[in-house]
Structure 1
Amino acid sequence: MKPFLLLSKQSTALITHCLRSSESTPPHTPPKLYINRHLAREHRANPALDPSCRNAVFTQVWPHHAPRRVPARLLLLCRWPLSYSQWWECEFITEGIFDNGGGFRDSLSDVSEELCPSSGDVPVPLPFFVRTSNQGNSSSDTRDMYVPNPSCKDFPKYEWIGQLMGAALRSREFLILSLPALVWKQLAGEEVSWSKDFATVDSELVKLLELLEGVDREAFEFMFGRELTYTTVLSDQRVVELIPKGSSTVVRYEDRKEFIRLVQRARMEESKEQV
């Protein structure tokens, strides 16, 4: 589809037509949400105190989308036309603020900041994304990125995040998620490359495996000895085995290319379920 769009002089019109033809009818009045941002700020300051994240703005908005928790009339459908510019109406508890559109956008900004904090010096309030390894590498130009958390299995909420992304595209609202090219390409169904795309996640690992592939036997033994095993560390910092009993199996020089292949596959597919 993408090559066709690039060649077509009518690509913009075609995309607009596809979006309009798949629109859903917006509600007559937006759902009204009551959000306590004071509790959300307390949670953001120390997320470890509440692993359920029940006070996050994201979680306060979520029940109005979950089909099993609320009546169908309150569901937040997401394929709205461009003219439907306010997805929900906010009343901020204890703030005395009633929404004329600005409150909705403030809540959307809060959700963005909870999912992918703009500062690298604060904890991540929600479990859906984790910082890339590049965030610890100041030399990388993609160091402020996040990837879906391989450990998080809350797929209904991932689906909702995707719907919010689609709604933002349709309505031209801002939902700022700092995701690397690897994730965007996977979402778009494009082919991904280890050397180019995974470098936006962990450039140091890409360089290390390039070095490992080209090293001679003497240098391999000097660098790794018997310390290199069939394991790798995922973005969520979990150590996983690449083969059965991989943590106790030493990588031999002649098997290093197979080891590289296994690492690349494990890391490229680490967030496949979440995407």
Structure 2
Amino acid sequence: MTELPSQGDMIAINFDTVRASIKDDHGLNTMFNQAYEQLYDKAQVLFRRQDERLWKAQYLGMHSTDAGGPYRDSITCICSDICSERLPLFILCPNGRTNSGSNCDRWIPNVYSPDKLIPNRTKNQYRFVGQLMGMAIRKKNYLDLKFPMLLWKQLVREQITSEDIEAIDIQSFTLINEMEKTMPENDQSIDLDDVLSSILDELRFEVVSSNGSTFDLVPNGQEIPVTIANFKEYCASYRNYRLNEFHRQIEFIRQASELEEAVCGKGEIDVELLKRNTNYGSPYSQDAPCIQRFWIVLGSLFTEEQKKLFLKFVWGRCTLPNRDEDFTTRFIINGFDITNGSVDGALPRSHTCSFVLDLPEYSSTDVMYDRLNYAITYCSSIDGDGNMNEMPDSAILIDD
């Protein structure tokens, strides 16, 4: 993701520390939530700016001038809220709650019923955590986030194991491990109730989650007893739940902190995304036949490599922003009056500084393809903002 130049005055974020000291059930008063409410909609662009500090922290009722100290303090307070009970996003891991095993100070994503949707506000707050992580990567503003290894592994799509779960919940697999050891491998005549009587009186298709809640492993699982016939299915369902318990929450964080996209942008050019962020100058409109031909060429006839060459030709870069709200400059397609020679013989003209394409009104899709392909292949260093370098065709029209 390309870093953006400084935009002048730094945005001011107001923090009410008195309000933040008042506990509430949903964390609305926290420094994290105060930052979220003022920054979330702007973060995709703001967090990519070149400025050393991305906002000016203004503490209400205090007479401090933010020369860097209040900014760093606000980040520290935000991280402190993330790893606390003041927000519904993360909980202390089971080892921490029972003071047993390792990683007792690590925080894990809160747990939600697998068959219920996570509230939209909560989703966006997880995304905001991801945006803060992306900011930390770019600015080296290291965050004091006490997350266990399994969370970091999932963020980078590394496979987690039972050992990763046991590292934050030492009791997580004790029960089924004992059951599997006790379960006879060959003697199918032994009643499961006799085998398991010393471990558990009643066992159903349920699981106790990391926050202590009990969820069904299958629909109506609380009504389905574990039997010798479904014992292996129960163990598989149990393990699958525990290994994927935080999958949705991690996905929301990753959506905003995807390392590859944060550094490189999306690998493919999303033509529909570009189309939604395009304006048209006279005499064109989105319904003009020439514009329809243009989008057919770019969207259907060009290869991925040609699309990247086109983007470099008109904008000087090979990737698009990831989302609509990331566009700080819209693509503009203007008409191009040709006064010397035929329209079909002329090449388009680009202005990379302003993301503008001057497009002749070509007579057919085939001509459109040929002229655009020639321009992006041989004229990537030529645009209306600069000079002509190694110009291969005198039909190219350039304005300085």
With structure 2 as the length reference, what TM-score do the two structures score?
0.54
CA distance in 2, matches of 1:30, 1:221: 66
Q: Which has the higher contact order (CA 8 A, sep 6+)?
A: 1
- State the partner residue of 2:173: 206
Indicate the residue corresponding to 1:247 in structure 2. Answer: 222
Structure 1's 143 and 209: CA in aligned 2 closer, same or farther, altered over 3 A? farther
Q: Which residue of 2 aligns with 1:79?
A: 48
The match for 2:89 is: 128
Provide the secondary structure at the position in 2 that maps to 1:147: strand
Residue 167 of structure 2 is aligned to residue 221 of structure 1: no
Are residue 165 (structure 1) and residue 128 (structure 2) matched?
Answer: no
Distance in 2 (CA, whole Å) between partners of 1:235 and 1:206 is: 12
Structure 2 counterparts to residues 39-118 of structure 1, below 5 A:
39-43=19-23, 47-48=24-25, 51=26, 53-67=27-41, 77-81=46-50, 84-117=51-84
Q: Which digits, 9 at most, give the CA deviation of each residue in 1:90-126, with x for residues without a partner?
A: 1111232221111011111111111103xxxxxx111
1:75 deviation in Å?
A: 7.0
Pairing 1:22–2:2 present: yes
TM-score computed with the length of structure 1 as normaliser: 0.77
**Matching residue of 1:34:** 14
Structure 2 CA distance, aligned partners of 1:88 and 1:75?
14
Q: Cα offset for 1:192? A: 1.3
Following the alignment from structure 1 to structure 2, what is the Cα–Cα distance between the partners of residues 57 and 76? Answer: 21
| Structure 1 segments unaligned to the other structure (5+ residues) | 1-20, 118-123
- 2:159 maps to a residue whose letter is E
- Match for residue 238 of structure 1? 213
1:42 aligned counterpart, secondary structure: coil
Equivalents in 2 of 1:208, 1:80: separation in Å?
51
Any conservation in 2 of the 1:57–1:107 contact (CA below 8 Å)? Answer: yes
- 1:64, 1:76 within 8 Å by CA — same for their partners in 2? no
What is the aligned partner in structure 2 of residue 10 from structure 1?
A: none
Structure 2: tracts of 5 or more residues without a match: 113-117, 184-191, 251-400
CA distance in 2, matches of 1:172, 1:79: 13
Per-residue CA deviations over 1:158-198 (Å, capped at 9, x if unaligned) read 1111010111122111311111121111100111112x211
Number of positions where the alignment pairs a residue of Structure 1 with one of Structure 2: 234
Alignment pair present for 1:273 and 2:248:
yes
Identity of aligned residues (%): 24
- Between stretches 102-111 and 144-153, larger displacement belongs to 144-153
Q: Give the alignment's Cα RMSD to 1 decimal.
A: 2.1
What is the CA distance between 1:261 and its match in structure 2? 1.2
Opposite residue 146 of structure 2, the aligned amino acid is S
- Greater share of helix residues, 1 or 2? 1
CA distance in 2, matches of 1:131, 1:40: 21
Q: Which has the larger radius of gyration?
A: 2
* Structure 1 counterpart SS, 2:14: strand
